[in-house]
Structure 1
Amino acid sequence: MTILETTDLTKMFGRVKALDRVNIEMKEGEVYGFIGPNGAGKSTTLRVLLGAIKATSGSARIFGKDVWKDAVAVHRRIAYVPGDVSLWPNLTGGEVIDLFMKLHGTKNRGRRSELIDLFDLDPAKKCGTYSKGNRQKVALIAAFASDADLYIMDEPTSGLDPLMEKLFQKQVLEARENGKSVLLSSHILSEVEKLCDRVSIIRQGAIIETGSLTDLRHLTRTTLLLETKKPPQGLSAVKGVHELAHKEGAIQFQVDTEELDHVMAFVSAFGIIRLESAPPTLEDLFLRHYETARPQAQ
């Protein structure tokens, strides 16, 4: 079932087109990655989804409801974590968590205590004394304690140390196992790769790629480290071979994934002694597309 959908979502700020016909379709129980560098349009998209700003044209619906007209009904079932959390400085962390839980109608004190212990937060301290990482913990605890149906997270691990990042990732995976949905906007590609079922890459306000990591990896290259009995003469001229270099008595190069079959047939004639393969990562895909792709209308 589709839980979140945008259709030709466009947002203008004066003459500047911040979003250019953005199309997203997110399924229930899915962790959906939304990636792109600062200024690409991620936060603007999320602000439209949260009903904080109105789209210039196009539509956005969550739980089948219009995010602008039915914002109150939508917010009852979502939890939002921004990348830069601002809290009431004179309230304690525990009081802020309680406030957000009350707004969501959640009374699970056991879950609250469990999360406070997991994230190692002192809830008795006033928010004005918290570091950025501790403010982030308050927002994450409040979100995961709310038992929302959809979590919208914009750079949620900003300011967290690696241990806390792992705890966050575990909570996201548990939420998915419980049938919850997570829209994760992040520039930490390894985090997206670990957590997300599908990803969209946004560039200059337009979606340039969408799909599962398996779907997208055919668009990038596999790195091979090769050692042969005889020098593989002519390898650099073989279709699909790129970035040829000598390394530790072997040859390292990249191969377009769709050309692997005939490249392997070519090098096998030289007597393979050693062959190591590294599959393409999300970072490879992202960098390749961000350097070369132009936004396409959806």
Structure 2
Amino acid sequence: MTEWSVAEPRKLTLTDPVSRLQVRIVNGAVNVVGTDEATARLEVSEIEGPPLIVTQDGSTLTVTYEDLHWKGFLKWFDGKGHHRRAVVSVAVPAGVDVEVGVVGAGAVISGIRGRTDIRGVTGDTTLVGLSGPVHAESVSGDLEAQSVTGALRINSVTGDMTVIEGAGASVKAETVSGDMVIDLGPTHREGPPADIRLTSVSGEVAIRLPHPADARVEANTTSGSLSNAFDDLRVGGQWGAKSITGTLGTGRGTLKATTLCGSIALLRRPDPAPGDGEPPAPSAPDAPTASGKVL
């Protein structure tokens, strides 16, 4: 095992192969990018407080503090945490498995084909171009996933979720009070059918489906409002619990959305013009909300 103690800005180039990356920091930022290179490169561009401990044990590269462990990470608290800050950038082979934990820090992960597991106490997370399975947990930070084709599983307490050009076969998201904006791209007919399951207590849920859509749909709210842009779907209930049910296309996939008191909106992409491909997804600031307005 090789170990470095990083107490000031520093760059490291690792010559041994890396198949797993673990990063855990307090305040600041984490940037992880997958590359076609066989080796990993690490840069700590800013650091305050105790040193970061960088270790390479076999093919596992770890960047963390001595007292910040993965187990129980979402409950981690240190009264001296506000004295810490680090900005860490890591370039790794695209096929590695990535684990990132942040407390009060932002995280950007892109171009990874292996498994991605991210946990955040606070701080926003951006995921771009990930093709492996993704599991994200957040207490209060917002999460944006763009062009993620792997299975996506998200759990949040109060943070908002935005999925842009979601083309994965599986999206499962749960939140207590955060809003969800899910913009789905078309899935390959040769691949597995789409399985979209969304659950919220009080947050709004807006789902935009590709054209043509191909799924069995079941959307339910106990006391919120419903909005439906599809003639093939039925809206039931006028007082109290309401639902949207039915089948789009051949019903190959599954879409289930449930809220207690939040609103649900099912929206459709504009029909593409003859000879054109799918229209581009909206950028995050223009994504539709459950009320049909824009954020």
**Do the structures match in fold with TM over 0.5?**
no
- Structure ID, larger Rg: 1
TM-score normalised according to structure 2 size = 0.31
Higher relative contact order (CA 8 A, sep 6+): 1
Q: Give the structure with the higher percent helix.
A: 1
TM-score normalised according to structure 1 size = 0.30
